[in-house]
Amino acid sequence: MSLVVVGSVAYDGVETPHGTVERMLGGAATYIALTASFFTKTSLVGVVGNDFAEEDRALLKEHDVDLEGLEAADGKTFFWKGVYSKDMNERETLDTQLNVFAEFDPKLPEVYREQPYLFLGNIHPGLQKGVHEQMHNARFVGGDTMNFWIEGEAEALRAAIRNWDFLLINDSEARQLSGEYNLRKAAEEIHKMGPHTVVIKRGEYGAILFRPEGFFVAPGFLLETVYDPTGAGDSFAGGFMGYLAEQGVTDIGMATHQHLRKAMIYGSVMGSFCCEQFGVGRFRTLERADIDERFEEFRKFTEF
């Protein structure tokens, strides 16, 4: 069994108060697949150009990420460049070159279509829906979205998420999607749109899991230095879904509270590691023991 992850594979240029990197491996699907791979077998669906480096492909393979679904198209890989504010709570996009990603039309290898776990990274909601429909046996389906689709593709987005089990979304986007400022009310509105499980990300403040029966608050980790927050939300997604898959939770509706809460903490753990180096740097050397150690740190600074 495998977790199928769909989304962008990219090169990023990033400038933070701690330095500048002109070009490094990035993209939502890269972060999600890499972080989930510490917990479960992962399969990647995306597209790259012929500039995609062999060493980047090798990194994914080292983490046992199946790349049969990673299409190699003629052209350049998606490129994004941004600069973070001094406090890193804001970022400005300096350059976006969609390149081969502009024509991305995800086609799933046969073996992927039989998998129970699907995470739909932030792409056009119509494509998300199309992928979901290719997955005959998907029993645990979630995804992410962004303001761009909430504003411009509201109807397609509603249609896509109607059958999702969970939606992962940041606080401002949850407010935008629901029309409610208060997060409890926002989550209630989103439940009505389909997903019974809503995870609202709050950046450095952590994330909240909302289910009709209650909520759970996961704090962010207090890093001494945040080098680069790019991909932290996607790393949260990988930790959250990866852990549940590892535990054999094939139906999130039936997951125990204990599993869901731990998944939230593993999400926060992976998000925190992500910020410790530029890009996916930290995941090159990270080991499962480091993850469990930080999980225990979360317990230490929250238990009362």
The answer to the question of residue 184 lying near a copy of itself (CB under 8 A) is yes
CA separation, residue 272 to residues 18, 182, 205, 219 (Å):
16, 26, 11, 11
Provide the minimum distance between the beta carbon of 108 and a copy of itself in the complex, in angstroms, as a whole number.
34
- C-alpha dihedral sign at 169, 170, 175, 181: positive
> Which spans in 95-226 are helix H?
110-113, 125-134, 147-152, 154-161, 171-178, 183-193
User: Cα(104)–Cα(102) distance, rounded to whole angstroms?
Assistant: 6
Number of residues in the chain: 304
Q: Which of 18, 107, 185, 284 binds a copy of itself (CB under 8 A)?
A: 185
Is there a contact between 113 and 135 (Cβ–Cβ < 8 Å)?
yes
The answer to the question of residue 32 lying near a copy of itself (CB under 8 A) is no
Paired tokens of 31:
């972060």
User: Cα(269)–Cα(232) distance, rounded to whole angstroms?
Assistant: 10
Number of residues that bind a copy of itself (CB under 8 A): 34
Q: Which of residues 62-91 bind a copy of itself (CB under 8 A)?
A: 86-87
Provide the minimum distance between the beta carbon of 216 and a copy of itself in the complex, in angstroms, as a whole number.
5
User: Cα(25)–Cα(11) distance, rounded to whole angstroms?
Assistant: 5
Helix, strand, or coil (residue 191):
helix
Q: Which of 133, 181, 253, 293 binds a copy of itself (CB under 8 A)?
A: 181
The answer to the question of residue 304 lying near a copy of itself (CB under 8 A) is yes
Q: Which of 202, 250, 276, 277 binds a copy of itself (CB under 8 A)?
A: 202
165 closest CA partner among 122, 203, 199: 199
Q: Which is nearer to a copy of itself, 9 or 209 (CB)?
A: 209
The answer to the question of residue 255 lying near a copy of itself (CB under 8 A) is no
Binding to a copy of itself by CB under 8 A, coded x per residue (else -) over 204-233, reads -xx-x-----xxxxxx--xxxxx-------
The answer to the question of residue 182 lying near a copy of itself (CB under 8 A) is yes
Q: Which is nearer to a copy of itself, 63 or 175 (CB)?
A: 175
Q: Which is nearer to a copy of itself, 157 or 226 (CB)?
A: 226
What is the contact surface with a copy of itself in residues (CB under 8 A)? Answer: 86-87, 181-185, 202, 205-206, 208, 214-219, 222-226, 258, 261-262, 264-265, 298-304
